[in-house]
Structure 1
Amino acid sequence: MAMGKYSRVDGRKSSKWCSTVTIVVFVGFCLVGVWMLMSSSSGVAAPNSDVSAQEPKEVKQKVVEKFSKPYEDISGDLPEDTGKEEHPESSQDGSTSNVEDSQNLLENVEGKNESEEDSKREAETDEDAKSEDNKSNSGDRESNSEGGESNSGDGDSNSSGEDKRMSETETSTNEQQESEDSPSESTSNPDGGESKTDVDSSVEEDQSKDQASNEGFPAGAQSEILKETTADSGAWSTQAAESQSEKESQKSPLSKDQNGYKWKLCNVTAGPDYIPCLDNVQVIKKLPSTNHYEHRERHCPDEAPTCLVPLPEGYKQPVRWPRSREQIWYSNVPHTKLADVKGHQNWVKVSGDHLTFPGGGTQFKHGALHYIDFIQKSLSKIAWGNRTRVILDVGCGVASFGGYLFDRDVLAMSLAPKDEHEAQVQFALERGIPAISAVMGTKRLPFPSKVFDVVHCARCRVPWHIEGGKLLLELNRVLRPGGYFVWSATPVYQKLPEDVGIWKAMSELTKSMCWELLVVNNDKLNQVGVAIYRKPMSNQCYEKREQNEPPLCKEDDDPDAVWNVQLQACMHKVPVGASDRGKQLPKPWPLRLGKPPYWLTSSQVGVYGKAAPEDFTADYEHWQRVVSTSYLNGLGIDWSSVRNVMDMRAVYGGFAAALRDLKVWVMNVVTIDSPDTLPLIYERGLFGIYHDWCESFSTYPRSYDLVHADHVFSNLKKRCKLEAVIAEVDRILRPEGKLIVQDSVETIAEVEKMAKSLQWKIRLTYSNDSEGLLCVQKTLWRPTEAEAIFSAIA
């Protein structure tokens, strides 16, 4: 046949018969060629088409395979380090993908073996299809696998190829279905994954069977598929993952776009100063009375908001402590009314683009430090920073008193009502001074009984003497036996008729409460006076009273039950048992910080299951290690920029205790559904508050530089919406502020996803078995779309 072909090319002469034979042979040869092409198309081209069509499916199957065993060795499925580069858009270390993987562990176990079967079968087919073109590349499979590994992170370079394969996939659905339905022949290891040795041996065995009819097929074809799979896998999802995402979307109150959660700005009357539980305008309008400051108490909306509070125009990074005690940016708290009203008393003044705080107050125009020393001289036993460590400052104004008490190593819990004087608590927090928005109204304060060493009131405008002394009796509840009440007000030193009447009423009331008036002294510089009372340390005086007024509380009345509990005009007895809390004064500061209090006995079981004193000590040592080895050095936080710190779940206050040597203060929160350890926190010379994180905290937006959440969110998910809690964290956290989360890997993954949707910076993620650590940083980003919160619109 070759001669017949070349006879025409050579131009040789032939007879008519030869020409006819030549034509017939040529036509026959053409028919044979057409038949061979058709046979080749069905026998070779189809497998190639099938492989290309199945490549996108292989990508999906491999993702399922990876997700199904996040912490196991997957070298039999992918090159050793492939998982590290599959998702370049993920967080800064490999632990984040592991966190996400754990959520899909159970869902994808069944699909794993089927996926591995398809991978092996497609690898074999690909070897057959590419033998003639790749014969020179038939090196061992392992070296090619390493080549695949080196390219596994380069997903972008193959994007055009991905699009081409996707179009090929659309034309090859039937071939995919046939491949999916084929029976599995792979050998699985005990963990459900196919081992590398089994894969290689089975491929080589099948290769040898087909070698007679498919000579020259490259041994490295399987690694080529793996290389493409790992390069493309970041762009693909699985049906299980898509279904799970849709289920989560249906559960969430927020609409979601392709980038995650879709957040909106809060459209409210309070604007950038919105506090959901204190700005519920619709409830406040319907209050039957405001005579007892009911309109300043907490009235939380039925559903916690999931919107984000806007920033004030021109917001800047806060001035750092200690300079912030004297000046803050006006643009951060753009209110001047208080400067107009109280400027002459050296509360606050406007100075260019700053608000300045000369350190004065209504009772200490010439500075808080002079006033603090005046109190010490009036009663030396107060002993600031030694016997007296934690105080309550009622009606704090801009909290200069508490701000300068830091110089005496004293913590002041300052409180004042929202808006009574414009933004006074917000000024305090912006200055780096602890404060909360609260009022002495109709409910107990959110503090345990018998915890404050001193309660201070300087012109706090609280009518202590009315209604049977109900408000003063609340101070008696929170003041520890032997503690002091420091009262600096006009009835102490002025002789106007109204002042004289109030002084007389207070004298009768305090005497009936068995408070001892220790000293009345006048400050000539500030032209004010102070009266200092002491609460009794025994019940003898109560038992000797001629009249039971104010009455003693009932025996079953728990003085530590405070969450939404109404005030009562009664007194609780002083503890009498030798091991009862309040029977003795705590040890002097700072000895009280690291030692278990006397009333914590070995017969009690601690929060973590050990004997209470041992539990306390173990917790203290634990946080010392964590803070010194990880938090201070391992998170990349500039701690000189951190002043106001919130611990959302404080337990024993170990985290706050570990930060003692830093220039920070920590608001320790004990949640209402956790063991009541707040009295112990106060006993060791720290302070805190009860709270329910399903509601907003009583503070202004942008109050804290750092929020610490140790196993908070996983517990909260059982009671309330995590999106609302994260929105609340966003509200109280300053831009550039940090959130540190320790929790289960599943919860860490959820929080990280929401943080990314908020445009927060992911500073660190780490996981170990089922536990994870996350550190994120809030940014200045705010959404553009707004959501009206009708409960907060006047």
Structure 2
Amino acid sequence: MPGSAAGGIQDACSVASEQRHGEINVSIWYNNVPHPKLIEYKKDQNWVRKSGDYLVFPGGGTQFKEGVTSYIQFIEKILPSIEWGKHTRVVLDVGCGVASFGGYLLDKSVLTMSFAPKDEHEAQIQFALERGIPAFLAVIGTQKLTFPDNVFDMIHCARCRVHWDADGGMPLLELNRILRPGGFFIWSATPVYRSDSRDQNVWNAMVALTEAFCWKVVAKETDAAGIGVVIYQKPVSNSCYEGRKADNPPICLQNRSHEISWYSPLGYCLPRIPVPQSGQESNWPISWPERLTNRPPSSQDGSNSISSENFLNDMTQWDMLVSKIYLHDLGIDWLKVRNVMDMNAGFGGFAAALINQPLWVMNVVPIHGPDTLPIIFDRGLIGVYHDWCEAFNTYPRTYDLLHSSFLFGGLAQRCDLVEVAMEMDRILRPGGWVLVQDTIEMLQKIQPILISLHWETTLHNQKFLVCKKGLWRPAN
């Protein structure tokens, strides 16, 4: 069924097959994401065009007048210390559109988590995921984003349509919470470079907020196309907070610093900057790619403490499992895998072992287990918190492969495994794979459920269940 929704995985892979490692799909099948509204609405800004049976992404955008590559180079020119792919590895792109910014940064070894809500433009995140770019549905509204404190090296907003000064600046406070001390916030929007009264009022509000947050302007320039960019840097110590004339916003209470952000309301406070452990110069991870295999700073604090030996053993075990079994013995065609989800990510060992493969991994840390997500980010990987008794914020037919390691035993105590399997079926592409490592008792419980979904299933060595989703769907 060429171009059909049910056959999307075959078509997505045929388009992606010519892509090299680190590159993104510059075109996708139109019938996989048949939403022409964005094409018409943004036709003058070169976001996306329809060309025959394909959607083509030229790398344009509202703020990318000279193309996204030129925009990325301009940022590095005005702030050389950003060091794409070395100092700056993990990025959040707010209101990402079709995620061209994050997609083109892949060539620079930068891993970008792009997000946007489902709005009147329709399916922007679906476009991004179809291209093989990390993205998910989210909004900065009344609740915290599902990320830990102090984890993103950089946050980016290009006309992201968020009112940062709303509710006393609570949306910007949320960015401050998840931005790493010393990290950068890049804002490209009309208040930065236009002088009409409306834009100036927004700019003045932003100045007041960022000064109250102790953010420092480290660059403010206009490119050749007349687009302005301002770059702020978060402080690396609490001295500025303590020296403010007015304690507004107040400093957060210490006992809330390690709460998992799951159904948590936005807070009107500034989290304290973590004090580096003795022997550390700062809480910033070492340069990429060394940070992937070095014991992270977050693994040494009281809440997430793991020994160097345990970290090394975990990394070694995953390297052996992936290289010896996953990539060769289980019959998975890894050439057709781009979007991967690890449903119970631990320290991110599965994703780290796949780092040289042309794919990306969404590391999911279940909210009822150990909070290892800060460690995952410190390693230069991306992920979110989630409760697998609920739906995951993504479009249907999003991921090529789902991986689960000893997840279902704990889930079975709290929710119906049939419903979990149905959610997995929803987010997995037709032709995609599920790889489950678990006890033989649990595998025997799960296998009949997945067979009932018309998946092909194979049990390997009484330890691994490998499933492949077909093109079957229920009759209307």
The separation in 2 between residues aligned to 1:345 and 1:384, in whole angstroms, is: 25
Worse-superposed segment, 349-358 or 745-754: 745-754
Counterpart in 2 of 1:507?
A: 207
Counterpart in 2 of 1:543?
A: 242
DSSP-derived class of the 1:500 partner: helix
TM-score normalised to structure 1 length: 0.57
The separation in 2 between residues aligned to 1:581 and 1:464, in whole angstroms, is: 34
Counterpart in 2 of 1:402?
A: 102
The separation in 2 between residues aligned to 1:514 and 1:699, in whole angstroms, is: 35
Counterpart in 2 of 1:780?
A: 471
2:332 counterpart (615, 621, 637): 637
Residues 297-316 of structure 1 correspond to what in structure 2 (within 5 A)? Answer: 312=5, 315=8
**Is residue 2:376 matched to residue 1:681?**
yes
User: Any idea what the Cα deviations from partners look like across 1:505-535, whole Å, max 9, x if unmatched?
Assistant: 11111011100011101111x3211100000
Q: What is the deviation of 1:615?
A: 1.2
More strand by share: 2
Residues 330-729 of structure 1 correspond to what in structure 2 (within 5 A)? Answer: 330-524=30-224, 526-558=225-257, 560-578=259-277, 583-601=282-300, 612-729=307-424
Amino acid of the structure 1 residue aligned with 2:115: L
Structure 1 alignment gaps of length 5 or more: 1-310, 786-794
Q: What is the deviation of 1:496?
A: 1.5
Amino acid of the structure 2 residue aligned with 1:588: S
The separation in 1 between residues aligned to 2:438 and 2:257, in whole angstroms, is: 33
> Contact between 1:481 and 1:582, CA under 8 Å: does it hold in 2?
no
DSSP-derived class of the 2:16 partner: coil
The separation in 2 between residues aligned to 1:338 and 1:746, in whole angstroms, is: 48
Q: What is the deviation of 1:784?
A: 0.8
The separation in 2 between residues aligned to 1:325 and 1:602, in whole angstroms, is: 40
User: Any idea what the Cα deviations from partners look like across 1:603-635, whole Å, max 9, x if unmatched?
Assistant: 9886xxxx5221111111101001101111111
The separation in 1 between residues aligned to 2:250 and 2:24, in whole angstroms, is: 46
User: Any idea what the Cα deviations from partners look like across 1:393-422, whole Å, max 9, x if unmatched?
Assistant: 000000000000000000001010023421
The separation in 2 between residues aligned to 1:603 and 1:689, in whole angstroms, is: 21
The separation in 1 between residues aligned to 2:466 and 2:288, in whole angstroms, is: 32
TM-score normalised to structure 2 length: 0.94
The separation in 2 between residues aligned to 1:585 and 1:527, in whole angstroms, is: 34
The separation in 2 between residues aligned to 1:765 and 1:564, in whole angstroms, is: 37
User: Any idea what the Cα deviations from partners look like across 1:352-379, whole Å, max 9, x if unmatched?
Assistant: 1111111111111332111111111110
The separation in 1 between residues aligned to 2:145 and 2:33, in whole angstroms, is: 27
> Contact between 2:90 and 2:152, CA under 8 Å: does it hold in 1?
yes
> Contact between 2:60 and 2:67, CA under 8 Å: does it hold in 1?
yes
User: Any idea what the Cα deviations from partners look like across 1:422-480, whole Å, max 9, x if unmatched?
Assistant: 10000000010000100000000000000000000000011112221111000000001
Q: What is the deviation of 1:766?
A: 2.0
Change (3 A) 1:600 1:555: closer
Amino acid of the structure 1 residue aligned with 2:473: R
**Is residue 2:11 matched to residue 1:317?**
yes
The separation in 1 between residues aligned to 2:335 and 2:104, in whole angstroms, is: 19
Residues 158-197 of structure 1 correspond to what in structure 2 (within 5 A)? Answer: none
DSSP-derived class of the 1:436 partner: strand
Amino acid of the structure 1 residue aligned with 2:464: L
Amino acid of the structure 2 residue aligned with 1:670: V
DSSP-derived class of the 1:586 partner: coil
Amino acid of the structure 1 residue aligned with 2:78: S
Amino acid of the structure 2 residue aligned with 1:532: I
More helix by share: 1
Structure 2 alignment gaps of length 5 or more: none
User: Any idea what the Cα deviations from partners look like across 1:253-282, whole Å, max 9, x if unmatched?
Assistant: xxxxxxxxxxxxxxxxxxxxxxxxxxxxxx
Q: What is the deviation of 1:602?
A: 10
> Contact between 2:214 and 2:234, CA under 8 Å: does it hold in 1?
yes
Amino acid of the structure 1 residue aligned with 2:474: P
Worse-superposed segment, 698-707 or 753-762: 753-762
The separation in 1 between residues aligned to 2:299 and 2:407, in whole angstroms, is: 25
Change (3 A) 1:414 1:599: closer
Change (3 A) 1:590 1:324: closer
RMSD, aligned α-carbons: 1.9
DSSP-derived class of the 2:169 partner: helix
> Contact between 1:490 and 1:499, CA under 8 Å: does it hold in 2?
yes
Q: What is the deviation of 1:580?
A: 11
Change (3 A) 1:537 1:420: farther
DSSP-derived class of the 1:325 partner: coil
The separation in 1 between residues aligned to 2:301 and 2:187, in whole angstroms, is: 40
> Contact between 1:646 and 1:706, CA under 8 Å: does it hold in 2?
yes
Worse-superposed segment, 487-496 or 596-605: 596-605
DSSP-derived class of the 2:186 partner: strand
DSSP-derived class of the 1:355 partner: strand
> Contact between 1:389 and 1:411, CA under 8 Å: does it hold in 2?
yes
